[in-house]
Amino acid sequence: MNSTVSGSAPTVGGSLLSVDGDGRVLVGGRPPTAGDGVARALARLVVHGIRDDAVERAISVDQTNTSVIVDDRVVVKIVGRWAAADRAGDLLERLAAAGSDDIAALHGRVEWRHPELGTSTLALVTEYLPGAEDGWTWAVDDVVAVLDGRGPDPAWPALLGRRVARIHDVLGAGAVPTGADAAELRVARASASLDRALAAASGRVRARLHNRRATLARAIRSLAGSAPGLEFPIHGDLHLGQVLASPGDDADGRRYTIIDFDGDPQLEASDRERADAAARDVAHLLVSFDLVAAVAQKRVRRADPAAFAWADRARAAFLDAYRDALRHPELFDDTLLPGFEAEQLVAELHYADRFLPGWRYAPDAAITHRHPSTHELPEEPWTPPPSAPTST
């Protein structure tokens, strides 16, 4: 069920909520945290039976909002900024109404009716999945097992293809034709991403990227020839880190759940709200197979062509299953994939340059593998670093 709090400074769980001049949602003048009682109080507004002394535990991977496990029963995501979860709440409600089990079950959301700002989502309350790990852990473990000869190719690329197709069928029910300027806008957006990545790159990464800028730009320009198609509110930030694996009854003994429908955090809020092509979600997930292949090579401490050979097989299995399961094939235009993939690769590299330098090696590996070099600048072969984080 849904619930509402009202006022410019309502009291929740004994704490005063406020919105500062930058749109940040604050609890007692500070960002909400696990243990301050707010997540527990919000959960009690939506879910029956949550004790008033229920334990709160933080989920540290959520960088934009505050996600808290309450009573080992539910996850409460409290927005970091006003209106940050309106999109996610709407999409999750649509999927829940369709009976989707491809997402964590939505218990409800708490809205905030503010006298000056209007009404917006304050928190989303969803199912807690004990033992869940995101794909930067479980997928890398599986690929390392393949590289070490300890197991066959995992079945989850095809399973995910079917799950993403089902999600797109639901969210695409109200798809609309693309605008007349869609192709031009896509090329401009992707070209700007390439320019930013080129400007920020340095060292060995810079030489490898410079030597591949021509093929990246060619892939991006292919977006200009795209035919008119359909757009709808897609996931927007779909990668393996947004896929939780928990004990379940899928073919391999896991349950795969797609999370975080907030859109691409690198875009402005207004851009995240816009409809887009299904192919962008697909392209983002295909790129993440390559990123996982890079992380697996870091884990085994060697550059191993078998990692990208696995990625090729995973990509093919995902696409075959996605196409087979999609009930509305008109939603998917695969001619957009090369351009969207190129854009996502350089966007990942630029993100790493700005926020997470230790992650550069992963998109660098994928770009180096997928795009041939002009050898205009002297370059060294890509090799995995001695240590690096495994998540963006």
pLDDT at 181 over 50: yes
pLDDT tens track for 15-50 = 999 999 999 999 999 999 999 999 999 999 999 999
Grade residue 108 by pLDDT with cuts at 50, 70 and 90.
Answer: very high
Query: What's the confidence (pLDDT) of residue 63?
Result: 61
Radius of gyration in angstroms for the set of CA atoms belonging to the chain, rounded to a whole number: 21
CA–CA distances in Å: residue 219 to residues 98, 136, 137, 224, 314? 36, 27, 30, 10, 21
Q: Which of 123, 114, 119 is nearest to 20 (CA)?
A: 114
Cα torsion 366, 367, 372, 374 to 10°: value is -150
pLDDT at 373 over 60: yes
213 and 100 within one domain: no
Element (H, E) at 375: none
Domain hosting 279: range is: 133-370
Considering the domain boundaries, does residue 106 fall inside one? yes
363 and 240 within one domain: yes
Grade residue 392 by pLDDT with cuts at 50, 70 and 90.
Answer: very low
Q: Which of 67, 143, 77, 60 is nearest to 391 (CA)?
A: 60
Considering the domain boundaries, does residue 302 fall inside one? yes
Output the CA angle 264-270-273, nearest 5 degrees.
Answer: 60
Query: What's the confidence (pLDDT) of residue 62?
Result: 57
262 annotated as ligand-binding: yes
298 and 183 within one domain: yes
pLDDT at 389 over 60: no
292 and 148 within one domain: yes
Query: What's the confidence (pLDDT) of residue 266?
Result: 76
Percentages helix, strand, coil for the chain, rounded to the nearest 5? 45, 15, 35
Q: Which of 40, 41, 38 is nearest to 28 (CA)?
A: 38
284 and 204 within one domain: yes
Q: What is the mean pLDDT of residues 52-65?
A: 84
120 and 163 within one domain: no
Query: What's the confidence (pLDDT) of residue 74?
Result: 97
pLDDT > 70: what percent of the chain?
Answer: 97
Domain end (from 103, 127, 151): 127
Considering the domain boundaries, does residue 120 fall inside one? yes
134 annotated as ligand-binding: yes
260 annotated as ligand-binding: yes
Grade residue 151 by pLDDT with cuts at 50, 70 and 90.
Answer: confident
Query: What's the confidence (pLDDT) of residue 245?
Result: 96
Q: What is the mean pLDDT of residues 330-345?
A: 98
pLDDT tens track for 187-239 = 999 999 999 999 999 999 999 999 999 999 999 999 999 889 999 999 999 99
Q: What is the mean pLDDT of residues 258-280?
A: 86
Considering the domain boundaries, does residue 378 fall inside one? no
Q: Which single residue is written with the structure tokens 């503010």?
A: 114
Grade residue 367 by pLDDT with cuts at 50, 70 and 90.
Answer: very high
249 annotated as ligand-binding: no
Query: What's the confidence (pLDDT) of residue 388?
Result: 44
165 and 147 within one domain: yes
292 and 212 within one domain: yes
77 annotated as ligand-binding: yes
Q: What is the mean pLDDT of residues 310-329?
A: 98
Query: What's the confidence (pLDDT) of residue 121?
Result: 97
Determine the Cα–Cα distance for residues 42 and 13; give it in Å rounded to an integer: 8
pTM exceeding 0.85: yes
Q: What is the mean pLDDT of residues 246-262?
A: 90
Determine the Cα–Cα distance for residues 97 and 279; give it in Å rounded to an integer: 24
Domain end (from 108, 127, 146): 127
77 and 191 within one domain: no
pLDDT at 295 over 60: yes
245 and 203 within one domain: yes
Determine the Cα–Cα distance for residues 71 and 78; give it in Å rounded to an integer: 16
Provide the pairing of β-strand 66-70 with 74-78: antiparallel
Say how many domains are in the chain: 2
Name the average pLDDT for the chain. Answer: 94
158 and 232 within one domain: yes
Considering the domain boundaries, does residue 385 fall inside one? no
242 annotated as ligand-binding: yes
182 and 155 within one domain: yes
Q: What is the mean pLDDT of residues 360-385?
A: 97
Determine the Cα–Cα distance for residues 57 and 37; give it in Å rounded to an integer: 11
Considering the domain boundaries, does residue 285 fall inside one? yes
Considering the domain boundaries, does residue 105 fall inside one? yes
Query: What's the confidence (pLDDT) of residue 386?
Result: 85
User: What CATH code is carried by the domain that includes residue 277?
Assistant: 3.90.1200.10
Domain end (from 111, 127, 143): 127
SS3 16: strand
Considering the domain boundaries, does residue 290 fall inside one? yes
